[in-house]
Structure 1
Amino acid sequence: MSDTNPIFVGMDLGTFKTSVASSTGYRDVLQTAVGWPKDHIARTMLGRDVVFGKDLVEHRLALDIVRPFEKGSLKYVEAASTGMSADQIKRHQLATRLIIEYAVARVRPEPGRPIYGVIGVPSRASMVNKRFIMEAASAVFDGIAVVSEPFTIAYGMNRLSDALVVDIGAGTTDLCPIYGVYPSDEEQVTIPLGGDHIDEELEKTLQATYPDVQASRNMVREMKERYGFVNSVSESAVVNLTINGRPRPFDITEPLKSACRVIVEPLVEAIRDMIGKFDPEFQARLRQNIILGGGGSQLKGLDRVIEQGLVEFGGGKVTKVPDAAYAGAVGALKLAMGMPAQGWTQLRASTAATASTPTTPTTTTEKHSLAV
């Protein structure tokens, strides 16, 4: 890297939330969403054309809100399989670019200083998906590396050997074995299951249990984040919900547990399958070093339930990341700051080779894309 005094940025571009950390000391978490005023009245009230962050919740009734990665669309699955029209895809692409630009702008980079960033994506994101992220980020980064989200978690925790990282996001869950080198795509797994699916299940279960209750998707998500659990608990989850506009307390303990457990069986099965693909000696080490990351890792009792599911396979030990909100971004930042100059050039060369275009030496003025 020939640029001097660059700013490094680590970004976990999540389905529901994006976290960012920079070498300037800045950290933040924002919704992975963009809102556009529905009409000129909303535009006049808001005083702007595009809305981000907390204002998305406060003014959601006045906004057309786009979550570009909902259920993995554009970031994990191919655009053609999302069922979206060409205009919708373009709108999602624009939303992605605006989110990245907004997140980097909040780092408040000094004019003239180059910005190098590492962005985390699902384990099995295709080259098309990675290139889409790189193109969206090209306006604000002088160099980017697109890497597996679980790998950034492991890198940030210095767990670079004999570990299995399970990153439970809103739209997908990623599994990545770590054994001292960057894992190949074939060794990683992404399953289309995460927090969004729990929200949908909880919404349906609440409707079946209390047919007259009124609860929005945002309310359902807040219930899950505050009370979500998968094991037996001694406490009840009681929340105030409305019927015909009148608030009343409701016990949601059983509906909540039932909804949260929809991810348990497929998650345990995926862990078993991945571990089973390695040599028996390595299997034992992986089972004893399973790391849970992502927002879904915070479900109470999930680590213990996974351990119970591994008992007949020799047992295991599951550890939750200490800071689920920033683990991916901090690891991505650490990876960016520790990357040697030749590493950036090499990554760029591999991307260029994939795109069948000639490579040239990096200069201080040219923008370049880097993909792992």
Structure 2
Amino acid sequence: MSAPAPSAPPPAPVASIPQNAPLARRVQSKTILVGLDLGTNKCCLIAGAPDSTDIVVGKVMPSAVGYVKPGIITGIVPGNSDVIFGDDAVRCALHVDLVAPLRDGVIHDTRAARDILKHLRNLVDPTGQADVRAVVGVPANAGPEAREHIRRAVVGAFARVLLIPEPFLAAIGVRDDSRLGQPQYVDPVSNSLIIDIGAGTTDLCLVQGYFPTADDQISFNFAGDSVDQLLHSAIIQLYPDCNLDPHSVRQIKEAHAYCGAIRKPIDVKIILGGKSRTLELGEVIGNACNQLVDRVFDSARRLISRVPNHSVVQLLQNIVLTGGGSQIRGIDTELQARFVADGYENPKVRIAGPDYQRYCAIGALKAARAARENQWQYVVN
């Protein structure tokens, strides 16, 4: 990779390293590096060799594990498996106990998390013979307990890991290495505010060319799932007989979400009890999404207040939105308008791009390729 290695803090050991661990690694035939964004709603894995820029495996799938219910007839579940993952698990929701490994951006069910991680590892190393190392994104300012839960979950899936804040990885993933040095290119790693709006958490990070400190990051548990909950509650108030399931509410949000001035009417067709109905949801959708913008704006102002005066004007030109929440219509325009109204000097807010589901994992693979040998943490039983 053409960019210099990110300077990570010295990693804490996951466990004591057996004396024969280095020898065991030397006899293995190859090393595979993995960049992993283990999200509340989606997980993304990008994998490749250490000495290449190629991607050999890329996978985005729902963060869902399905444990097949007893008595299911042969041929109903793909591969007649006892455990299925991702889209297969969601499609077979009738026939499985569906478990979400994460909640609010952190491990909620260790068993399900471990199972989905082993499944992802098998995608990149079906033989189980390679030395597979993973850089895993974590929420900004994730605490010791959240990090330890991830370390426990990766046992049996990866040989070594590095845990790095997700918005920092997203900045590295958004970075176009081929354009570094071009006069008109604005490098997101040099001096930017990255805002990563996921399902469970919203993470903000000042990215200024070095590994972020705790003061450079803010994370809060108000994100896509919170918008879903607000929308669901508002629909129940308007239409008490329409108790939609969470998946249907998420589909409505993803199809119609917007920020800014209230738009009416937004007529949404639903199927309830086998019958078609049309709901007018323009105001409730706008109100729910605007509450997310309120929280993002307040946190962004707090971080910007910590930026040195000599660099803050440049940073205001480089506010980048990523994650699933970046796809809400008008969120960049509304956030920029709020900065302008609050007196900030010529702010520019932009959406990272259409590959928002993969930026964190792409950055994680770049970080894995740049990591020094002594930065990797061994994972042992």
Query: TM-score band (shorter)?
Result: 0.7 to 0.9
Structure 1: how far apart are the matches of 2:379 and 2:189?
A: 25
1:131 correspondence with 2:163:
no
- 1:140-168: CA deviation from partner (whole Å, max 9, x where unpaired): 22221111001111112232111111111
| Aligned-pair CA distance for 1:111 | 4.8
Match among 66, 72, 84 for residue 35 of structure 1: 66
1:265 maps to what in 2? 294
The aligned length equals 332
1:194 maps to what in 2? 223
Which amino acid in 2 is paired with 1:279? P
Cα contact 1:37–1:43 (8 A) shared by 2: no
Instruction: Choose 8-17 or 36-45, whichever is displaced more.
Output: 36-45
| Aligned-pair CA distance for 1:334 | 1.4
- 1:274-320: CA deviation from partner (whole Å, max 9, x where unpaired): 10112222222222111111111110111111111111232411121
1:13 correspondence with 2:38:
yes
1:280 correspondence with 2:309:
yes
RMSD: 2.3
Cα contact 1:308–1:315 (8 A) shared by 2: no
1:207 maps to what in 2? 236
Cα contact 1:10–1:117 (8 A) shared by 2: yes
Cα contact 1:213–1:241 (8 A) shared by 2: no
1:69 maps to what in 2? 102
Which amino acid in 2 is paired with 1:53? G
Structure 2: how far apart are the matches of 1:315 and 1:142?
A: 47
Cα contact 1:214–1:242 (8 A) shared by 2: no
Cα contact 2:313–2:345 (8 A) shared by 1: yes
Which amino acid in 1 is paired with 2:83? V
* TM-score w.r.t. length of structure 1: 0.82
The alpha-carbon distance between structure 1 residues 274 and 180, as it changes in their structure 2 partners (threshold 3 A), is same
Which amino acid in 2 is paired with 1:280? N
1:146 correspondence with 2:163:
yes
Structure 1: how far apart are the matches of 2:101 and 2:83?
A: 15
| Aligned-pair CA distance for 1:347 | 4.7
The alpha-carbon distance between structure 1 residues 208 and 8, as it changes in their structure 2 partners (threshold 3 A), is same
Q: Percent identity?
A: 30
Structure 2 unaligned blocks of 5 or more: 1-24, 49-54, 176-187
| Aligned-pair CA distance for 1:199 | 0.5
1:112 correspondence with 2:129:
yes
- 1:240-291: CA deviation from partner (whole Å, max 9, x where unpaired): 2235532023332222112222211111000001101122222222221111
The alpha-carbon distance between structure 1 residues 274 and 244, as it changes in their structure 2 partners (threshold 3 A), is same
1:364 maps to what in 2? none
Cα contact 2:170–2:360 (8 A) shared by 1: yes
Give 3-state SS (helix, strand or coil) of 2:303's partner: helix
Cα contact 1:215–1:241 (8 A) shared by 2: no
The alpha-carbon distance between structure 1 residues 287 and 43, as it changes in their structure 2 partners (threshold 3 A), is farther
- 1:223-244: CA deviation from partner (whole Å, max 9, x where unpaired): 1112211124878533222355
Instruction: Choose 119-128 or 278-287, whichever is displaced more.
Output: 278-287
Structure 2: how far apart are the matches of 1:133 and 1:244?
A: 40
Cα contact 2:263–2:283 (8 A) shared by 1: no
Give 3-state SS (helix, strand or coil) of 1:334's partner: helix
2:56 maps to what in 1? 25
| Aligned-pair CA distance for 1:189 | 1.0
* TM-score w.r.t. length of structure 2: 0.81
The alpha-carbon distance between structure 1 residues 235 and 325, as it changes in their structure 2 partners (threshold 3 A), is farther
Give 3-state SS (helix, strand or coil) of 1:182's partner: coil
The alpha-carbon distance between structure 1 residues 36 and 44, as it changes in their structure 2 partners (threshold 3 A), is farther
1:319 maps to what in 2? 350
Give 3-state SS (helix, strand or coil) of 2:270's partner: strand
1:345 correspondence with 2:374:
yes
| Aligned-pair CA distance for 1:41 | 3.6
2:199 maps to what in 1? 170
Structure 2: how far apart are the matches of 1:126 and 1:178?
A: 20
Give 3-state SS (helix, strand or coil) of 1:39's partner: coil
- 1:309-361: CA deviation from partner (whole Å, max 9, x where unpaired): 1112324111212111111111111111222xxx231454xxxxxxxxxxxxx
Match among 21, 28, 49 for residue 82 of structure 2: 49
Cα contact 1:164–1:289 (8 A) shared by 2: yes
Which amino acid in 1 is paired with 2:93? R
Structure 1: how far apart are the matches of 2:106 and 2:74?
A: 28
Which amino acid in 2 is paired with 1:180? G
1:237-276 correspondence to structure 2 within 5 Å? 237-276=266-305
| Aligned-pair CA distance for 1:113 | 2.5
Give 3-state SS (helix, strand or coil) of 1:249's partner: strand
Cα contact 1:202–1:256 (8 A) shared by 2: yes
Structure 2: how far apart are the matches of 1:62 and 1:152?
A: 37
1:83 maps to what in 2? none
Structure 2: how far apart are the matches of 1:161 and 1:48?
A: 47
Structure 1: how far apart are the matches of 2:319 and 2:162?
A: 25
1:329 maps to what in 2? 361
The alpha-carbon distance between structure 1 residues 243 and 338, as it changes in their structure 2 partners (threshold 3 A), is closer
1:102 correspondence with 2:119:
yes
Which amino acid in 1 is paired with 2:322? G
Give 3-state SS (helix, strand or coil) of 2:134's partner: strand
2:183 maps to what in 1? none
